[in-house]
Structure 1
Amino acid sequence: MGLRLLHLNLHGLIRSHDLELGRDSDTGGQTLYVLELVKGLAARPEVDKVQLFTRLIHDRRVSTDYAKPVEKISSCAEIIRLPFGPKRYVRKELLWPYLDDLADQIVQRLQQDKNLPDWIHAHYADAGYVGALVSRRLGLPLVFTGHSLGREKLRRLLAAGVDHDQIEQTYSISKRIDAEEIALAHSNLLITSTKQESDEQYSRYGKFSSKNVETIPPGVDLNRFHSIDLNQTEEEKELDKIFKPFLRNTKLSPLLAISRAVRRKNIPALIETYGRSPVLQQRHNLILILGCREDSRQLEKQQKEVFQQIFELVDKYNLYGKVAYPKQHKREQIPSIYRWVAKRKGLFVNPALTEPFGLTLLEAAACGLPLVATDDGGPRDILSRCENGLLVDVTDLEAFRDGLETAGSNSSLWKTWSNNGVEAVSRHFSWDAHVCNYIALMQKRLKFLAPRYWTFGKTKEATPISKNLLLLDLDNYLEQSESQGLSKLRNKLNETSFKMDIQLGILTGRSIKSARHLYAAKQLPKPAVWICQAGTEIYYSDENKTDIFWQESIAIDWNRKGVEKALFDLKDYMELQSIDNQAPYKVSYLLKEPSTALLPLVRKRLRQAGLAALPHLKCHWYLDIVPLRASRAEAIRFLTLRWGLSLEKVLIVASQQGDAELLKGLTPTVVTCDHDASLERFRTQQRVFFSDSEDCVLDGLKYFRFFNTQ
């Protein structure tokens, strides 16, 4: 059997044809790279199937193509679109609350397929987070490519003087960085485009390991991007029509920039440099291909701000007749634009503040167009191999100007650079070479991985969980003083008809011994399962031995002593709980003053120590540090996979601060009437039911139709 591969690219505006590149900040080169990689893999004889999972979108503002649940790319490649979050198209920063829903959907879908993928390749931070959850639950190898990283973006924005709170509000930067940490911790392999990415960017993450990195430069489709002369063909005439309304003299040597209209691409600095140089204005036109737009007033905020800067700079330096920024172009015209500029002995300019790789640089080089590019990231690797232009410090406008003036001053050097680029791209950066390297590395690094532990339930042993499962919190809901609602629940659960439909499960931070002692006084039916010690131990019925498969899955890289050592200097803010409240896979603290502000500091300490551990704050006072792969929510999902139970058949009761993890994903959840205010943000979630009565659990059972008899 050939390889079966799964790729994750979540923003949704991706299809097999007519990519809307540059439409917004989410539709850049990453989108093209992922699609071309999927197509390239599907064409290989070693590959049986490639699936690209993304988001299903119903929105009159975008094409109906993005509302198709399945789109065939080729005979063995397809795009699978799953609904999560709002139906309409939204920028990726608004999708964080819904990613757990997607992870649950993907796991359920893969469960139904007899042949699981050989590996998951997640692209960007959001897909990395989802890929980590799917990988964790199904035991599948995970490959991660960040494309651009949150820490680097944060560093650049702070250096530009943007307020930290504004960055957080606009980009959800802390969620993005946390997701990248989680993806790196779960990844079996990290793919970068350049060595600089791993050395200077990924290395700033706590779970980064240089042993897990492979550098594979992206490829170029040489059937589209080539240096054949136009010779006044139809495509050149079409481009003349696009540029002539902007330019007085279309025969001048152009400076071409192609990018999205976002701050990181630094287009205003290019216009400023051009506007300050009489030499550049006399010698060159400036052509800016910044995606397509109908009305700049309808653009998203960042794009609108960039275009406003462009309009103001053109006006400031009176560049009318010298700068072209057409509103529309077709994707198939991009190769022609490169060749149009090359025929006029122009230059391709990349002024980005940071450039993870720079696929447009390779496209331009393949078309015979020399480069002037930012001395940051991918351009270093490209120019070191291609020797087809100059690197410049784009943050120094004088140096930027000197580089552009020098590059355009020597026709003999231009010809050498042009030939070098065409030859080097063909030798080093073709898609065939990229895909061959990709498959060879994957098979070498991932061949013996994939312990698919969810199939353990397919044994002859008795199944302890086979009905609807009601999970109650022993430490809060059940420990509270006797109420009328709890009394009614007890009576109902003890009825024979209810016992036929529902099994009970208990969630607790306590040990199994302590939990059973406290539960005995509640006069409720015997639980089928106990999730103890903050999700790190699972017991069935009256058994005293924890589920060994769960223990093995969460034990990876766990270092209990390391956790205590890393947090020792926070003793003024918290103290270790008694030995009775500790466990092999849980370090428990009691805060001296309730504060959620301590959590980021604890996370930072654990990350700096390189520990695979996560903090969970419960009821404002109780802080548990558990393995990275452990939590109550993950224990629940392990149970459903282990015993073949649908998530929709698990009803969870939540009430306290710290229960947010239980409200994410596809499991139906009841929030009690006396719930903590921190849970209010989940009121819009489809599978969360807020009860206003003391009979909250019974209300929830009826709302979710959890039993056959009413």
Structure 2
Amino acid sequence: MGFKLLQLHLHGLFRSRDLELGRDADTGGQTLYVLELARGLAARPEVERVEVVTRLVQDRRVSQDYAQPHEEIAPGASILRFPFGPRRYLRKEQLWPHLDDLADQLVARLQQPEHRPDWIHAHYADAGYVGALVSRRLGIPLVFTGHSLGREKLRRLLAAGGDHDQIEQSYSISRRIDAEELALAHADLVVTSTRQEVQEQYARYGRFQVERAEVVPPGVDARRFHPQPTGAEAEALDALLGPFLRDPELPPLLAISRAVRRKNIPALVEAFGRSAVLRERHNLVLVLGCREDPRQLEKQQRDVFQQVFDLVDRYDLYGQVAYPKQHRREQIPAVYRWAAQRQGLFVNPALTEPFGLTLLEAAACGLPMVATDDGGPRDILARCENGLLVDVTDLEAVQDGLEQAGADQARWHRWRDNGIEAVSRHFSWDAHICSYLALMQGKLEARQPAVARSGDSSAVPSRLADRLFLLDLDHSLELPAGDGLVALRQHLEKDARSGRPSALGILTGRSLAVARHRFTELHLPDPGVWITRAGTEIVYGQENSSDPEWSRMIAVDWNRERVETTLQDLGAHLKLQEPEHQGDFKVSYLLRQSGEGILPLVRQRLRQRQQAARPSLRCHWFLDVVPMRASRSEAIRFLSLRWGLPLERILVVASEQGDGELVRGLPATVVLAEHDPSLDSFRHQQRVFFASRQSMSGVLEGLQHYRFLSRR
């Protein structure tokens, strides 16, 4: 049997044909790479199946193709679309609240042996977050490719004068960086395109381990990108570009990219307009995606196009600049060849370029390059020797580089030949797939699942009940309950006599001994499970020790003493709580001044010291630091897998600051009337019910809403 592979590519619009590349910032080069990777892997005899997981979208504004749950890419390769979040199309920055839902759905599918892959490859931060959760819960090896990284984007935006708060609002940059850190902490292998990414970008992450990184440059499809033109395509290109140009035979300076600020196209137009040499010698051809209706473009795209139009007008470039309104994706190879026939140059003026696949496509078609001296182009030029690099932040450097590159015909021919030969040797899809599979076979050794299997020798019942009802001892049961508590006791007693009773579970930040003492005062049925010390301990029934499998899972990379040492110099903000509030996997502090401002500082310290730990704030005053793999939410999912209990049959109650983790994903959630304002952001979630009453009355209202107890 061959390999079974799962690729996660969550945002943008993804299908097996006619990719809408350049439609928006989310449907770009990553989309094409994942599609070609799936096709290339499926063609290999050692690969049995490749599945690409993406988002199911039901939106009249986009094609119905994206609403199909299953689509074939090629024999052995398919697309699986899962619904999560609203039905409509969303940009990637709006997907974060819904990713836990997808992770839960994937775990439910992949725990079935016939669907379990040999490894998961997550593309970009959103997929990295989901991949990390699935890998953690099922023990499936994880490969991560960031494609572009949040820390680098933040650095660039701040350097360009951006406001940090505005950047956060527009790009959810903190959540993206947190997701990248989580993915790097769980990744068995990090695949990058260039050495520069490893040395200068990934190295800025606290959880990155350089020994787990490998450089595997993307491949070029030689069937499409080659130097031999056809007469038919030449005529089509003349019709597409000729109307813009007075002298279409002049060597073109060709740029192909999305119309976004990072691609820096206006700088290229300005450099061209300022140079009499370039204007005399060349045309400028800009292929910036389709713009059938400018009103449907994102604001950033509209702004870039407007800058281009203004510069064309300012320098009177009419007849020398082509910017076609429409083109088909299958025309792109012909555009490269059209430019190469006229001894033109491919220009990539991007401010940052993680790789630069278009540079390789151009080279394969015989078109030399002038490119940004950032990231991937350095590696490409080192292999191809087919052009030169320039500092694109300096307009004079861009102008000088373009003038120099187009001045020597003999050198142009040498660059052309070098590029064609080097792409064939180093950057073919065959070479990429061979390197990729060799890494998987060599680096990703089979691991034991992270959850107990059927027949495990541990003394844990396969399932305590048909449903699990989880109450928060520290708040829901701590409030004055009155008649509500009596009514809840009666409901639970009736449920116990039903023949299919629910198990009662308790969530608490306290120790097991303190929790049990407090619980006896409530006179409720005995809990079947206790999730204590902020999710770091799971104890069953009347037992006294935590599930050893859970303890083993969360202990990975945890060092309690180093966590304390790391945060020791924050004594002006934090005070260690008394020993009875501490745990083997929990370091608990009391804030000297309430507020969430301390959380970013604590996270930063833990990352800088490479501690696999996560802080959480409860009730505005209490800060717990626990292992990265531990939380109440993860404990619930561990139980779901341990017992074979679907998450949809679990109900939790939330009300406090820090309960956001309980509200995400597939379990049913009841939010009490008197709740922390931070929970209001979850009102749009499908499986969250906001009760109109508080305390036990609100709990009962939620139980009735879901018809949770004594169901038939």
CA distance in 2, matches of 1:124, 1:191: 11
Contact 1:99–1:130 at 8 Å: present in 2 too? yes
The code of the aligned residue for 1:336 comes to A
Q: What does 1:639-678 align with in structure 2 at a 5 Å threshold?
A: 639-678=639-678
Q: What does 1:101-140 align with in structure 2 at a 5 Å threshold?
A: 101-140=101-140
Deviation (angstroms), 1:501: 2.5
Deviation (angstroms), 1:572: 0.9
2:453 maps to which of 451, 456, 467:
456
**Paired residue for 1:61?**
61
Contact 1:42–1:50 at 8 Å: present in 2 too? yes
The code of the aligned residue for 1:189 comes to L
**Paired residue for 1:36?**
36
Contact 2:252–2:284 at 8 Å: present in 1 too? yes
CA distance in 1, matches of 2:676, 2:333: 57
Deviation (angstroms), 1:111: 2.1
2:263 maps to which of 262, 265, 271:
265
Secondary structure, aligned partner of 1:112: coil
CA distance in 2, matches of 1:369, 1:35: 25
CA distance in 2, matches of 1:177, 1:324: 39
Q: What does 1:173-252 align with in structure 2 at a 5 Å threshold?
A: 173-230=173-230, 233-252=231-250
Contact 2:462–2:644 at 8 Å: present in 1 too? no
2:309 maps to which of 298, 308, 311:
311
Secondary structure, aligned partner of 2:223: coil
**Paired residue for 2:358?**
360
CA distance in 1, matches of 2:528, 2:28: 50
CA distance in 2, matches of 1:82, 1:682: 20
**Paired residue for 1:422?**
420
**Paired residue for 1:478?**
477
User: Which digits, 9 at most, give the CA deviation of each residue in 1:402-458, with x for residues without a partner?
Assistant: 000000011100000000000000000000010000000111000x23322335244
Contact 1:362–1:425 at 8 Å: present in 2 too? yes
**Paired residue for 1:589?**
589
**Paired residue for 1:620?**
620
CA distance in 1, matches of 2:113, 2:233: 47
Secondary structure, aligned partner of 1:255: strand
1:440 maps to which of 438, 441, 453:
438
Deviates more, 1:691-700 or 1:668-677: 691-700
Deviation (angstroms), 1:707: 2.7
The question of 1:698 aligning with 2:700 is answered yes
CA distance in 2, matches of 1:239, 1:17: 22
User: Which digits, 9 at most, give the CA deviation of each residue in 1:334-356, with x for residues without a partner?
Assistant: 11000000000000000000100
Secondary structure, aligned partner of 2:590: strand
Secondary structure, aligned partner of 2:339: helix
Deviates more, 1:6-15 or 1:349-358: 6-15
Secondary structure, aligned partner of 1:435: helix
The code of the aligned residue for 1:157 comes to L
CA distance in 2, matches of 1:551, 1:153: 37
Contact 2:12–2:27 at 8 Å: present in 1 too? no
2:274 maps to which of 273, 276, 287:
276
Deviation (angstroms), 1:675: 1.3
Change in CA separation of 1:315 and 1:458 when aligned onto 2, cut-off 3 Å = farther
Contact 2:340–2:366 at 8 Å: present in 1 too? yes
The question of 1:382 aligning with 2:384 is answered no
Deviation (angstroms), 1:554: 0.6
**Paired residue for 2:151?**
151
CA distance in 1, matches of 2:481, 2:259: 61
Deviation (angstroms), 1:14: 1.0
Contact 1:387–1:421 at 8 Å: present in 2 too? yes
Contact 1:457–1:644 at 8 Å: present in 2 too? no
Deviation (angstroms), 1:699: 1.6
Contact 2:691–2:701 at 8 Å: present in 1 too? yes
Aligned residues: percent identity? 64
Deviates more, 1:676-685 or 1:192-201: 676-685
Normalising by the residue count of structure 2, what TM-score does the alignment of the two structures yield?
0.98
The question of 1:27 aligning with 2:27 is answered yes
Contact 1:257–1:348 at 8 Å: present in 2 too? yes
CA distance in 2, matches of 1:678, 1:334: 48
The code of the aligned residue for 2:504 comes to L
Deviation (angstroms), 1:482: 3.5
**Paired residue for 1:300?**
298
Deviates more, 1:494-503 or 1:130-139: 494-503
The question of 1:86 aligning with 2:86 is answered yes
Contact 1:498–1:707 at 8 Å: present in 2 too? no
Q: What does 1:510-549 align with in structure 2 at a 5 Å threshold?
A: 510-549=510-549
CA distance in 2, matches of 1:366, 1:342: 10
Q: What does 1:558-573 align with in structure 2 at a 5 Å threshold?
A: 558-573=558-573
CA distance in 2, matches of 1:592, 1:453: 38
The code of the aligned residue for 1:603 comes to R
**Paired residue for 1:629?**
629
The code of the aligned residue for 1:491 comes to Q
The code of the aligned residue for 1:387 comes to E
Deviation (angstroms), 1:672: 1.0
Secondary structure, aligned partner of 1:456: coil
Contact 2:140–2:447 at 8 Å: present in 1 too? yes
The code of the aligned residue for 2:54 comes to T
Normalising by the residue count of structure 1, what TM-score does the alignment of the two structures yield?
0.98
CA distance in 1, matches of 2:353, 2:298: 22
Secondary structure, aligned partner of 1:225: coil
CA distance in 1, matches of 2:399, 2:514: 73
CA distance in 1, matches of 2:183, 2:409: 48
2:288 maps to which of 290, 296, 310:
290
The code of the aligned residue for 1:703 comes to H
The question of 1:707 aligning with 2:709 is answered yes
CA distance in 2, matches of 1:679, 1:601: 23
The code of the aligned residue for 1:451 comes to Q
CA distance in 1, matches of 2:499, 2:534: 27
**Paired residue for 2:553?**
553
Secondary structure, aligned partner of 1:494: helix
Deviation (angstroms), 1:115: 4.6
**Paired residue for 1:142?**
142
**Paired residue for 2:688?**
688
The question of 1:398 aligning with 2:396 is answered yes
The code of the aligned residue for 1:343 comes to Q
CA distance in 2, matches of 1:597, 1:459: 44
The code of the aligned residue for 1:525 comes to P
Contact 2:451–2:549 at 8 Å: present in 1 too? no
Contact 1:14–1:66 at 8 Å: present in 2 too? yes
Unaligned runs of 5+ residues in structure 2 are none
**Paired residue for 1:332?**
330
User: Which digits, 9 at most, give the CA deviation of each residue in 1:503-562, with x for residues without a partner?
Assistant: 100000111111111111110000000001100000000011210111111110001111
CA distance in 2, matches of 1:85, 1:274: 45
Secondary structure, aligned partner of 1:244: helix
The code of the aligned residue for 1:528 comes to G
Deviation (angstroms), 1:709: 5.5
Contact 2:529–2:541 at 8 Å: present in 1 too? yes
